Structure 1
Amino acid sequence: MKGALDRFAIDDGRHVPNIVIDDDASVAAGEACYVAHCSCGNATRPAIAKELALSAHMEHVSTRLGPSRGPDWMPLGVRLTLLMIACLALFMATQFGASLVIGNRTGAEANTIWAGAILLGFAEVCILTVAVRRFIAPTKL
């Protein structure tokens, strides 16, 4: 049974089962009854076997997690392509804004603005990628 609990891993860590014997239900039933307490605060109804308590816990987890956030109808390659297009558009918009700011400036001042725009563009692209990572490649099964 320990092996089944080791394989049971949820990425958010909020649904870890703790299977214990329920004393009240055991006395009422006349035999050992198990209950799975979830780390999220939910407890399943008493079951006669540990496997049944774990199965009830798995049902609880599957109703809480739901489907992944990413659009299941869109393949991963298309989602990555859309992300790359959005990143390129954001980077190009930053460079266009920098060229407007540079205007008639020349020399070190223009080069400094241009270098700052490049760094800002990379930072914006990184922030966008981190912000939409759950929609592109969800980690929930």
Structure 2
Amino acid sequence: MTRGGRRSVFGSFSGQFDLFVTDFLPGGPMVQRSSPRRRQQLVSFGENIRRWRSVNGMSAAELAERAAVTRDTLRAIETGTGGRIDSLFAVLGALGIADTTIEAIDPFRSETARARIDDILRSGGAL
């Protein structure tokens, strides 16, 4: 499929439809959105969600109800196999960790990112 100078290739993996998207950007590298490392990150993230549920003494059914998501959606999030971002944040909110999660990815709280931000701002750039 070609759109605006980009070609995407979708593939199947292990009997499930994993999103393998390779973009050929003009003058840029190929980007693969799915990889073994990404898969492990999703699994680890989901395991942490499940651990937070356990720390809060909630069953899966209770957390799903509090987050207003289906049990299948919660299962997908906890196993790292799917879920929409709004469903993820509903679960994080029901666990009481949505704000902590947002703060964890704030580039202004990272020394490495802060140094880059300072360089960008010094050179007249904006964020």
For the criterion TM > 0.5, the same-fold answer is no
* Structure of higher RCO (CA pairs closer than 8 Å, 6+ residues apart): 1
Largest Rg, 1 or 2: 1
Q: Which has the higher helix share?
A: 1
**With structure 2 as the length reference, what TM-score do the two structures score?**
0.32
